Amino acid sequence: MRAILSFLVLIVSGCAQAPIALRDMGSFHVGGRDVEISGKPVKEVVFTPGGVPAKVDPNGTYSVEAMYVQYFLPAGAAAACRCCCGTAAA
């Protein structure tokens, strides 16, 4: 049993990596359109049995048919951008 525990600790410690330093990160939406919903009734719903009821109003403006992009740029040397252009980014 002790040998198995020692083996597992060795494997887990070998998997540890240094933290990743980021130069920048961000997000944006691509495409899409806004849709206005009006005239729908406000509903009262209970998400958890015995919980407090909450009012849900579906009316408003919603963004639809868009793609959400989130990116992370590593710090240090120029990172290779192989996903779309195949060249190194500055």
Bigger pLDDT: 89 or 27?
27
**In contact, 34 and 26? CB cutoff 8 Å:** no
Residues of the chain by 3-state class (helix, strand, coil), percent to 5 = 15, 45, 40
What pLDDT, on the 0 to 100 scale, is given for residue 80? 55
Backbone angles phi, psi at 74, to 5 degrees: -70, 150
Q: What is the pTM of this model?
A: 0.47
**pLDDT digits 0-9 by tens, 39-65:** 999 999 999 999 999 999 999 999 999
What pLDDT, on the 0 to 100 scale, is given for residue 50? 92
| Alpha-carbon distances of 68 from 11, 26, 27, rounded to whole Å | 37, 11, 7
Span 54-78, average pLDDT: 92
Place 85 in a pLDDT band, splitting at 50, 70 and 90.
Answer: low
